[in-house]
Amino acid sequence: MINKTVGSAERALEGVADGMTLMLGGFGLCGIPENSIAQLVSMGVKDLTCISNNAGVDDFGLGLLLQNKQIKKMISSYVGENDEFERQMLSGELEVDLIPQGSLAERCRAAQAGVPAFFTPAGYGTEVGEGKESREFNGKMHILEHAFKADFAFVKAWKGDEAGNLIFKGAARNFNPVMCGAATITVAEVEELVPAGELDPNAIHIPGIFVQRIYRGEHYEKRIEQRTVRKKV
C-alpha cells in the first residue's frame, strides 16, 4: 500500500503558488473542497486560473477567493449566483471563459485519461465553436476541444482511505471524480478517512492511483443554495 495521507490541509496544499491553474470539484456549493478553499484563502496565493463548473456565492466556495481577489481567470459553465463575480467581470478585473458543461467535464476526463483532444457537437455553429477546428462525423458537425492542463486538482469525497481510494456521496460526486488525476497533483479531502483495507474494493469510485495527497477535512458546512421542500400532508 502506498500511503497518500498528509495529515493536514497545510501540508496537502504545499507547493501551490501564484499564477497556477487549479481544478476544483463541486456543482454549485454541492461537493466543493471546503477545506482546501479555506487553505487557499489563508495562503493568499493569487493570479490563479480556476477550472470549476461554478464560482460559488459571495461568501462561500470560490466566492471567498474572489472576495480576496486571488482569481485572475475563471473557466466555468455557469456563474450566475455571485455579485462580486459580476462586479469583477464587468470591470475587467476578472477574465471569464464560459464553456459548455459537458465539454468542461470531458476536458477534465480527457486530461485524466491522457487523451489530448476530442470532437464534440456541443457549441458547433455558436460563438463557442469560433476559431476551433470543425469536422463532420456521421453527417453531423463537431468541434475539436482540448484536454485541460492544470497544476493542482482539489476534490472532495465522502470517504477515503490511506491509499487514496475515494467514495463519493449523492450528487456531491459531480465533477470531483473526473478531476482526479487530471492535474499534476490531485489533493482529495474527505469527510471520513479510514485505514487501507476498510473500504470494500468493489465500492471504490476512484482508485488511489489518481490521488497524490489525501486528508480529512474538518467542519463541513455543506451549505444549501436553494432549499426547496414540500409540506407534509
Partner 1 sequence: MSLSKEQIAQRIAKEVKDGYYVNLGIGIPTLVANFVRDDISVEFQSENGVLGMGPFPFEGEEDADVINAGKQTITTLPGASFFDSALSFSMIRGQHVDLTILGAMEVAENGDIANWKIPGKMVKGMGGAMDLVASAENIIVAMMHTNKAGQSKLLKTCSLPLTGVGCVKKVVTNLAVLEIQDGSFVLLERAPGVSVEDIKAATEGNLKVPAEVPEMKF
Nearer to partner 1 (CB atom), residue 35 or residue 76: 76
Kindly give, in sequence order, each residue whose CB lies less than 8 Å from that of residue 80, ignoring residues fewer than 6 positions away: none
**Closest alpha carbon to 71 in 94, 52, 53, 91:** 94
232 part of the interface to partner 1, by CB under 8 A: yes
**Closest alpha carbon to 23 in 62, 59, 70, 57:** 62
- Residue 82, classed as helix, strand or coil, is coil
Nearer to partner 1 (CB atom), residue 180 or residue 199: 180
Question: Residue from 53, 88, 165, 186 that binds partner 1 (CB under 8 A)?
Answer: 53
Grid cell listed for 219: 467542519
Grid cell listed for 228: 426547496
* Segment near partner 1 (CB under 8 A); pick from 5-13, 16-24, 121-129, 211-219: 121-129
Nearer to partner 1 (CB atom), residue 38 or residue 105: 105
* Residue 95: CA count within 13 A, CB half-sphere: 9
Interface positions, 143-182, toward partner 1 (CB under 8 A):
158, 168-178
The least CB distance from residue 17 to partner 1, in Å, is: 28
Nearer to partner 1 (CB atom), residue 219 or residue 231: 231
Interface positions, 17-46, toward partner 1 (CB under 8 A):
27-31
Please, are residues 159 and 166 in contact by the beta-carbon 8 Å criterion?
yes
The least CB distance from residue 218 to partner 1, in Å, is: 16
Q: How many residues does the chain have?
A: 233
The least CB distance from residue 168 to partner 1, in Å, is: 8
**Closest alpha carbon to 177 in 167, 163, 192:** 167
- Residue 47, classed as helix, strand or coil, is coil
Contacts to partner 1 by CB under 8 A: 27-31, 53, 76-81, 86, 89-90, 98, 100-106, 108-109, 120-128, 158, 168-178, 205, 222-232
